Amino acid sequence: MHLSSRQDYVSISFAGQGSGSYNNSKQWRRQSCWRKWKQLSRLQRSLILFILVLLFICGIASYPSVTEHLRGLTGGKQDTASDSILGPFVPFVLPEPAKQGPPPLPELTSQRKLSNKRGPPVLQNRLQKKGNASETVVEDRAADSKKEGEEKGVISWRGAVIDTDEATEGTKNGENKEDAPANREVKTSKDLESSWLEAVQEAFRHAWKGYKEFAWGHDELRPISKSYSEWFGLGLTLIDALDTMWILDLKEEFEEAKSWVATELTFNKNVDVNLFESTIRILGGLLSTYHLTGDTLFLDKAKDIGSRLMPAFNTPSKIPYSDVNIGKGIAHPPRWTSDSTVAEVTSIQLEFRELSRLTQEPQYQAAVAEVMKQVHKLDGKLDGLVPMFINTNNGQFTHQGIYTLGARADSYYEYLLKQWIQGGKKENQLLEDYLQAIEGVKKNLLQKSSPNGLTFVGELSHGQFSPKMDHLVCFLPGTLALGAHNGLPADHMDLAKELMETCYQMYIQMETGLSPEIVHFNMHQGSTRDIDVKLADRHNLLRPETVESLFYLHRLTKDHKYQDWGWEILQNFEKYTKVSSGGYTSINNVRDPEYPSPRDKMESFFLGETLKYFYLLFSNNTNLISLDQYVFNTEAHPLPIWPSTA
Ligand code: DMJ
């Protein structure tokens, strides 16, 4: 049927102003409209009715989002970051060079408000849930966002899970969902992550600036005197920092360091080096950088230093000497003793084992395995806890009766677990020794402080307990958490969390918010504060252990409070240890914010470990050095977990 053109279009004409008289009475308008309506064809009327019904339905459907939008404009939280681009911040472990200049150090934003109360004698009452500002904020935020997520049918960033489809740039069909409240939440978290990561990059650049200007090619920067100190004369800071630069996406800095390694670094030098320190910092740093970059320059250098360290194992007992002259190939103990430190001879295994695997030369692995075999069998342990010294002539423990998780014993425990992980969890003896040692810690060294019941690891000296804890012990929460992640008892994770809290308190209780080297815990009833610091122990060497453990705890629990704690600590490093001309300095007195008394030294581990762990802590990308693919040596150099050959 052919329809006339009149019926093809809906044409409505109203009485215009040019109709002569203007009658705007209600009755006239009603009659006029009705007349017009009657003049329309049936099709026209049906179409108009259809459109009206359609408009009505659309209006009802869009009502909630319109009101939500209006609420946001009038009373709701402003999201100033809503223009930024969503997307992954850090590509896995092979980032592209950073092209832009350093952004300004970000201030803490209102989205993640932290407690910054500190200072004795009052312990911050995060321990007594109610008075805990920081924790309350974090918990409330988590609860709020979870509720919000549930109501809106999305899972928000604080609700533990992020819908990754939502968190990527744009949408599948190109539709822009920028204004959706759920996306604003995700972007807020991304922005915060980016700004904290940038702050770490900036800190690294600042440290590097000092090293480059005043200490280039030397072991350590002395930032106050704008000079350097030499330990082994091998560019220790530069080598220790190589993989940090790679992981932090600082390719320009990495390239200049690499060219120094290629053209200047030589191990053919008449210098005495400490076996342990050069293994964990130099051999470990080179092996790790080789794995991250695939550049054989670093493997060649690793082989060179590894083979030059081997004379250390030429001892009557095969327990290595502490020192080697890498130019002459002669090793010796320190001048005053024929003892070596237990932690030193048992914390070189990850590196030498990996060197054997890469080179297919078994002598490296054999030498360090022999040490483990002997230590495993030795008398003089207490429930798996080892003394601090071992004699290189007879291979026996010396100075027996003193047990600590701090200096001279610490990384023995760390490397039991990590060797087991590195080798694919097959070497049961290592696991047994580790598990026994942790039970030994619980039985002999674990106590609670007064008045707030902080769990701490003390020391035992000939049966006498001392409530002394080195900052070095703060590696333990991270190691315990790593063990639990690898299938060890869940109560290891519980203990990790308790000790993590204690290590954080060791910072936050100090007037500078930085931990001293050693603390003493009060245990007697009626104490007014949990932590005491002796005059001689008030220094801070920019050590990494607490930040390291915060990284593990955050990575493995996903609890963002650990990132918040880390951010607080980073700010305190910025405030009290940053030297304006470049670099950061260790300080003498963490209890004097007016004059923390700089020591004029930036340890290589500040770049090798502390800043790297800050970066990994603030990154939410679990693939950035996955803990299922890498194991960190005790100097924070990631080495691969061996692929299973089974
Ligand atoms: C680093 O050299 C290593 O982490 C080592 O295991 C302990 N001491 C420093 C950092 O504190």
- Of the candidates 474, 460, 441, 466, the one whose C-alpha atom is nearest the C-alpha of residue 520 is 466
Q: At what angle do helices 410-422 and 349-359 cross, to 10 degrees?
A: 30
| Helix (H/G/I), strand (E/B), else coil: 93 | coil
How many CB atoms neighbour CB 104 within 10 A?
9
Q: Is the dihedral of CA 25, 30, 34, 36 positive or negative?
A: positive
Query: Using CA positions, which residue lies closest to atom 8 of ligand 1?
Result: 472
Do residues 502 and 456 lie in contact, with contact meaning Cβ atoms separated by under 8 Å? Answer: yes
CA–centroid distance, 633 to ligand 1, in Å, is 10
Neighbours of 487 (CB within 10 A): 9
Sign of CA dihedral 394, 399, 405, 406: negative
Going by C-alpha positions, the residue among 244, 233, 215 that lies closest to residue 606 is: 244
DSSP label of 19: G
Distance 286 CA to ligand 1 centre (A): 17
Catalytic residue selected from 193, 198, 253, 545:
545
Strand blocks (E) in 326-415: 330-332, 339-341, 389-391, 397-398, 402-403
Mean pLDDT on 576-590: 98
Catalytic residue among 249, 253, 272, 277: 277
CA–centroid distance, 307 to ligand 1, in Å, is 23
Give CA separation, 508 vs 59, 118, 147, 494, in Å: 55, 5, 31, 21
Least confident of 48-57, 125-134, 181-190, 413-422: 125-134
pLDDT tens digits, 59-87: 665 544 433 333 333 222 333 222 222 22
How do residues 369-382 score in pLDDT, each as one tens digit? 999 999 999 999 99
- The residue whose CA has the least distance to atom 11 of ligand 1 is 543
Of ligand 1's listed atoms, the one at least distance from the Cα of 281 is: 2
Q: Which atom of ligand 1 is nearest to the CA of 543?
A: 11
User: Which residues are CB-contacts of 277 (< 8 A; sequence separation ≥ 6)?
Assistant: 231, 232
% pLDDT > 90, the chain: 70
Q: What is the average pLDDT value for the chain, to the nearest integer?
A: 81
Q: Residue 354: is its pLDDT beyond 90? A: yes
How far is residue 350's CA from residue 634's CA, in Å, rounded to a whole number? 9
Query: Cα of 527 to ligand 1 centre, how many Å?
Result: 32
634 belongs to an annotated ligand binding site: yes
117 or 10, greater pLDDT = 117
Identify whether the C-beta of residue 485 lies closer than 8 Å to the C-beta of residue 491: no
Name the least confident of 59-68, 275-284, 491-500: 59-68
Q: What is the pLDDT of residue 442?
A: 98
Q: Which of 414, 540, 545 to mutate to test the pocket of ligand 1 (most atoms within 8 A of CB)?
A: 545
- Catalytic-role residue among 410, 414, 568, 603: 410
For the purposes of burial, counting CB atoms within 10 Å of the CB of 71, is it exposed (0-12), middle (13-18) or buried (19 or more)? exposed
- Locate the ligand 1 atom nearest the alpha carbon of residue 541 and give its number: 11
d(CA 328, CA 273): 12
Catalytic residue among 191, 517, 548, 635: 517
Q: How far apart are the first and last CA of the chain?
A: 79
Determine contact, residues 503/481, Cβ cutoff 8 Å.
Answer: no
Whether the CA torsion 567, 571, 576, 582 is positive or negative: it is positive
**Ligand 1 centroid – CA 634 distance (Å):** 6
What pTM value is reported for the model? 0.75
Sign of CA dihedral 557, 563, 564, 565: positive
Contact (CB, 8 A) for 101 and 201: no
What is the separation of C-alpha 371 from the centre of its chain, rounded to a whole number of angstroms? 32
Asked if 438 and 492 count as a contact pair (C-beta separation under 8 A), the reply is: yes
519, amino acid identity: V
Atom of ligand 1 nearest to the CA of 343: 6
The 3-state DSSP class for residue 561 equals helix
Ligand 1 centroid to Cα of residue 306, in Å, is 20
pLDDT at 183: 57
Q: What percent of the chain has pLDDT over 70?
A: 74
Using CA atoms, how far apart are residues 349 and 355, in angstroms rounded to an integer? 10
Instruction: Give the span between the Cα atoms of 80 and 98, in whole angstroms.
Output: 25
Residue closest via CA to ligand 1's atom 1 equals: 635
Nearest 5°: the CA angle 587, 589, 593 is 100
Does the pLDDT at position 287 exceed 70?
yes
Give the distance (Å) from ligand 1 centre to CA of residue 157: 34
Task: Tell which residue, 208, 210, 211, 217, has the closest CA to residue 248.
Answer: 208
Supply the residue whose CA is at minimum distance from atom 2 of ligand 1. 635
- Residue from 411, 475, 605 to probe ligand 1 pocket by mutation (most atoms less than 8 Å from CB): 605
State the closest ligand 1 atom to the C-alpha of 472, by its place in the atom list counted from 1: 11
Asked if pLDDT for residue 16 goes beyond 80, the answer is no
Question: If you ran DSSP here, which 8-state letter would residue 395 be given?
Answer: -
Among candidates 286, 237, 312, 319, which has minimal Cα distance to 604? 237
DSSP character at residue 385: B
**Residue 622: how many CB atoms within 10 A of its CB?**
13
Confidence of residue 36 (pLDDT cuts 50, 70, 90): low
609 CA → ligand 1 middle, Å: 8
Per-residue confidence (pLDDT) for residue 40, from 0 to 100? 73
From CA 370, how far away is CA 348, in angstroms rounded? 12
Q: Is 545 a catalytic residue?
A: yes
For 168-181, the pLDDT digits (tens) are: 222 333 334 444 45
Q: Which atom of ligand 1 is nearest to the CA of 414?
A: 6
Ligand 1 lining (C-beta closer than 6 Å) = 411, 472, 543-544, 605, 609, 634-635
Which DSSP letter does residue 128 get? S
Q: Whose CA is nearest to atom 10 of ligand 1?
A: 543
pLDDT at 18 over 50: no
> Is 277 a residue of the active site?
yes
Atom 3 of ligand 1, nearest CA residue: 635
Both tokens of 476, joined, read: 């333990």
Contact 512, 591 (CB under 8 A): yes
* Most distant CA pair in the chain, distance: 123
Atom of ligand 1 nearest to the CA of 277: 2
pLDDT score at 42 = 77
Rg, the chain, Cα only: 32
- How close is the Cα of 635 to the center of ligand 1, in Å? 6
